[in-house]
Structure 1
Amino acid sequence: MKTQLQRLQKIFPHTWLEQLQYIHSSLLCRWILLRGSQTLAFNQKSAMVFSPHQDDETFGCGGMIAHKREQGIPVIVVFLTDGQGSGGSVPNAQNNIVQIRQQEAIEALSILGVEASEIHFLAKLDGSLQDLNNDDKQQTIEQVSELIRCYQPGEVYVPHRKDCHKDHEATYKLVKAAIAQNNLIVDLLEYPIWLFWRSPLFILLKLDDLAAAYCFSITSVQAKKKRAIASYKSQIESLPRGFIKRFLGSYEIFFKVD
């Protein structure tokens, strides 16, 4: 995928590439919302959200988190990496980015209703999840397994398995392995972050992939999600505006894993 993006960047100027990605993402989301999805019904199950970086949880399922917390339903959020790979444009951020992103996550999740005691930082090196050696991989799976055993969630949220970011795709695999290790029966839902932005339809993203899409209305908590996204000041200025815009709407998209 990285090679494909590099090829596109040689063909199109950066701004043109972003415009193409925005159009592609918008059309896919519109098709899913209008024709290609089922409605995801709200339930009372406790949830555990696994996020590779500090902001993915809010972009991908901030509305769902806020809905559950407003109903008093437990939500646990687990960050796998330390987030040091992105300093954004905040002064001195490169030197303090781990602490900055951790505080931003606590602030964002507080807006969504999650207390700091319900947030866990595993602090793996940003960008390393896909390349962990066997010992580190097993240690990470065991850490995730221990949290799952402790909280016994009814639902688990993970990035999409084809999310076109190696930490995101690795998070899916690590969490899936931990669930299997615990023989846990749980609803597993994937949330897309980069999927629609970076996955060309009919090349990496197939119609079969879209068949499992569900839409969840977040209208009543949309303002909370926008405020939570705005808390990630170190990140939002460095992300494409069109990319951020996709997450400011009144619906969230999830994929159910059988």
Structure 2
Amino acid sequence: MSLRNGFRLLATRSLQAILRLRSESLVDALAPGPVLIVAPHPDDESLGCGRLIVNLCNRGIEVDLVWLTDGGASQSDFPGGPAALGATRRAEARAAGEILGLSPHRLHHLGAPDGLLPHLGVGRRCEVLAALTGLVETLRPSTVFVTSSLDDSTEHTAAHALVAEALRAAKHPAQLRTYLVWAFWKVRGLWTIVRHAPSIAFLPTTPTATATRHRALLAHRTQTTTQSPHDEPLLSRHFLACFPRTGEFFLSI
């Protein structure tokens, strides 16, 4: 491990320890009822809240999962281009969702363009908002989870904004909670969360939930295996090592 990655890991572990001291129990804070989880891209669901999905399914709670994009822009040199990569990642996402415990009819794809969530044209943005609002009104979740506005990713911040706007438009009240992906790697973002997040909840993991999350991550083969001409996976071992080992954190922003 390089000195830079070693320092990053030490810093993120230290900040996670502070978050853990400040956190409340997610199980105690979570409103009863169905849950909708929104992921900007395939793999975000497993990275940021895979253990949550396992926990909810094991408790018999209805969970639906929607991906905003198919992740077709993650590799510019994928054989067949973005369309082929998007189709592959869509299949990987469905496999991961089923590993986490979700039935196929609980998995939804909106097909928004990957890499452009912060820059959607008016028409396309309205389509995505209408689809999200429709899901909220149809599924009537008590809680909606999406990536945090503090996750230090323009795509993830845009996803948060879309979901927040859809919830305002929906004729069904739902609690909004958020999860983290990039903040564990981009330590400055995690420091911002430590300083400014008004509410932090934590879900402890179990060996079964951790193992299931790991299998779900491996289903995203285009991200977790080395793809030619690259010499390491997009989700490198250094990146994955930065995620919390004992559970998952959730915010209100």
> 1:241 aligned to 2:229?
no
Q: 1:201 to 1:228 in 2, by over 3 A?
A: closer
1:212 counterpart (170, 180, 199): 199
- Give the Å deviation of 1:202: 9.0
SS of the residue 1:68 aligns to = helix
Which residue number corresponds to residue 92 of structure 1?
79
Cα distance, 1:249 vs structure 2 = 1.8
What is the CA-CA distance between 1:54 and the residue it aligns to? 0.1
One-letter amino acid of the counterpart of residue 242, structure 1: H
Output one character per residue of 1:201-231: Cα deviation in whole Å (capped at 9) or x when no partner.
697546122x411110121422111111111
Percent identity, please. 25
CA contact (8 A) 2:205 2:248 kept: yes
Instruction: Please tell me the residue identity of whatever aligns with 1:64.
Output: L
Query: Given the superposition, is the C-alpha separation of residues 243 and 45 from structure 1 closer, same or farther in structure 2, using an over 3 Å criterion?
Result: farther
Q: 1:109 to 1:88 in 2, by over 3 A?
A: farther
> 1:167 is paired with a residue of what secondary structure?
helix
> One-letter code of the match for 1:41?
V
Query: What is the aligned length?
Result: 241
Structure 1 runs not aligned, ≥5 long: 1-13
Match of 1:37 in 2: 23
Contact 1:88–1:235 (CA under 8 A) maintained in structure 2: no
Structure-1 residue corresponding to 2:44: 56
* AA in 1 matched with 2:202: C
Matched, 1:172 2:160: yes
Normalised TM-score (structure 2):
0.86
Per the alignment, do residues 71 and 200 of structure 1 end up closer, same or farther by CA in structure 2, a change over 3 Å counting? Answer: same
Residue 190 of structure 1 contacts residue 255 of structure 1 at CA under 8 Å; is this kept in 2?
A: yes
Mark the CA change 1:97 to 1:15 in structure 2 (over 3 Å): closer, same or farther.
Answer: farther
Aligned equivalents of 2:235, 2:101: Cα separation in 1? 25
Q: 1:40 to 1:18 in 2, by over 3 A?
A: same
2:63 corresponding residue in structure 1: 75
Contact kept, 8 Å, 1:158 with 1:175, in 2: the verdict is yes
Shift of 1:103: 1.2
How far is the alpha carbon of 1:146 from its aligned partner? 0.7
RMSD: 2.4
Cα distance change, pair 234–172 in 1 and its aligned pair in 2 (3 A): same
d(CA) in 2 for partners of 1:88, 1:32: 36
SS in 1 for 2:114: coil
Q: Aligned partners of 2:190, 2:146: CA distance in 1, in Å?
A: 23
Aligned match of 1:225: 213
Of residues 24, 31, 37, the one that matches 2:11 is 24
User: Tell me, what secondary structure is at the counterpart of 2:94?
Assistant: helix
1:90-239 maps to which residues of 2 (within 5 A)?
A: 92=79, 94=81, 96-200=84-188, 204-205=192-193, 207-209=195-197, 211-219=198-206, 220-236=208-224, 237-239=233-235
Checking the alignment, whether the CA contact within 8 Å between 2:178 and 2:251 is kept in structure 1 is yes
Say if 1:101 and 1:232, in contact at 8 Å, map to a contact too. Answer: yes
Q: Is the 8 A contact 2:51 2:205 kept in 1?
A: yes
Q: Larger deviation: 140-149 or 14-23?
A: 14-23
Deviation at 1:252, TM superposition (A): 0.5
TM-score by length of 1: 0.84
1:252 to 244, 248, 251: 248
The more displaced of 233-242 and 15-24 is: 15-24
1:29-48 deviation per Cα after TM superposition (whole angstroms, max 9, x unaligned): 12212x22122226542110
